[in-house]
Amino acid sequence: MSARILALVGSLRAGSHNRQLAEAAVKLAPEGSEVALFEGLAEIPFYNEDIDVEGSVPAAAVRLREAAAGADALLLFTPEYNGTIPAVLKNAIDWLSRPYGAGAISGKPVAVVGTAFGQYGGVWAQDETRKSVGIAGGKVIEDIKLSIPGSVTRFAELHPADDTEVVEQLTEVITRLHGHAAEPAAA
């Protein structure tokens, strides 16, 4: 079965190592998988129920919801900002959680990975992201993890797509997430 995996990146910086990791995922998607990198998280306003009403939902939020609804699974890439999840990623999760109980990620397999400068590779942010997306209705795949420490030095002159260890680990993440995305069709 083919699987469309939507990638969301919690960093808006053009040269972000997490963005580079997501770009690598797009290139590494195994046969039968497509990883699509969502562009436009910066344009989505902070979640506000006053604007989340039919006819008033901002176009950027509608695009995000449609992209997630059309995906079989989500792969979230998060840096760690002050020991936790970046606001842009949390905001995307908030928009995807609505309408309550029937959000665009409800029941969809979700994996969370990332890289950060610290020695643990952003595990706090990843844990917080898993918690948030799980509460929002996503089916968090807890045993799919990838935390790459020392991003600033490790990727100073090497793109993640050119790092053999990262390529192997990221390919494994996508392959395993693809397997989870295929489960509902097999049921």
pLDDT in tens, 3-60: 999 999 999 999 999 999 999 999 999 888 999 999 999 999 999 999 999 999 999 9
* Domain span including residue 121: 3-186
Cβ-in-10-Å burial (0-12, 13-18, 19+) of 58 comes to middle
**Mean pLDDT, residues 133-150 taken together:** 96
> Mutual orientation of helices 87-96 and 59-69 as an angle, nearest 10°?
70
- Count of structural domains, the chain: 1
DSSP 10-27: S---TT-HHHHHHHHHHH
Task: Tell whether pTM > 0.85.
Answer: yes
β-strand partners of 145: 112
CATH number of the structural domain spanning residue 142: 3.40.50.360
Q: What is the pLDDT of residue 184?
A: 52
pLDDT at 121 over 70: yes
Range with the poorest average pLDDT among 65-74, 125-134, 145-154: 145-154
For 152, the enclosing helix (H) or strand (E) is helix 151-154
Which of 109, 116, 74 shows the shortest CA–CA distance to 92? 74
